[in-house]
Amino acid sequence: MSARRPRIAFLGECMIELYHRPGDEPGTMRRTVGGDTLNAAVYCRRALGDTGAAEVHYVTRVGDDPFGLDIPGFIEGEGVKAGHVEIAKGETTGLYAISRDDKGERSFSYWRSTSAARRLFAKGRDEALEAELEGFDGLVYSGISLAILSPEGRERLLALAGRMKAAGRIVAFDGNYRPRLWASKDEAAETIARAHANASLSLPGLDDEQALYGDADARGAVQRLLSLGATSAIVKSGGEPALLGDASGLREIAGVAAPAIVDTTSAGDSFNGAALAALLSGGTLEQAAEAGHRMASTVIGEYGAIVSREATWWAGGPLAATA
């Protein structure tokens, strides 16, 4: 009998994504699905390819509107398991639209204040889900995952992450600081610091860490994350080298030049997904960062958060591409 494949759960909010692509009719918008942890889950699954190294699951709540009803099928179509995507009766699905400047940098407009995902781990619900997730081999979430929850929901998610880390499971966290989602910067800084402390792998972007904590550079950010209690950290700096840190010290992994930059949406998310795929495939932290750079460099060459499968040309496995 073959050994059970490890199961890793990506948790957060997925939404309908609207974007206009140059060349389309003026005023028209394309529709797809996106969200930071969903993007990461999709790219993790693609990077795993046919290796069968892990099962990738997504955990969220969506509304029973026509948009939300389409989401489980979209997720399953990417090879990510959607058995923990709850269709919430009478609730709504979040939505966002992307605007871009001529350098590919993007800004977002959101309609998510009543998103069904906000009631994950709400009082009196999801106890069975929480217990089931504790039996998984990994948990991936973000500052956005925390920000949308009620105070009680945040506490339950942080406690779950802490228990899973203590049990030796993978707990990966990306700070993904979005000021509009928090009551104050202080609240965000305190909560996100606790999440980093409960992480076996912190995967933040340097700009978010600097905005919250004033780190002078990536070295300062990595050292602070490790001092908080993170077992390891990869701090991303766009196309610049990523800085890695763990008990063996700090080291730098150079970025990968992108053939073209048309849309930086999901650059960090795709990095996270590919990096986790490398680790799940038995790779080192260095191989994880290399895989993350390669995936991000292809993703920013197309429009949208989740690009075509053809763009992610190395989906046969992250370690094969580094051999």
Active-site positions read 269
CB 116 within 8 A of CB 88: yes
Q: At 58, is the secondary structure helix, strand, or coil? A: strand
Query: Kind of pairing, strands 106-111 and 95-100?
Result: antiparallel
Q: At 75, is the secondary structure helix, strand, or coil? A: helix
Cα 182 to its chain centre, rounded Å, is 18
Question: How does DSSP assign 160-181, residue by residue?
Answer: HHHHHHHTT-EEEEE----GGG
Q: b/e string for 37-66 if b means 16 or more Cβ within 10 A?
A: bbbbbbbbbbbbbebebbbbbbbbbbbebe
232/185 Cα distance (integer angstroms): 25
53 residue type, one letter: A
114/183 Cα distance (integer angstroms): 16
Question: How does DSSP assign 110-152, residue by residue?
Answer: EE-TTBGGGGTT-TT--HHHHHHHHTSSEEEEEHHHHHTS-HH
Question: How does DSSP assign 84-99, residue by residue?
Answer: EEEEETT-B--EEEEE
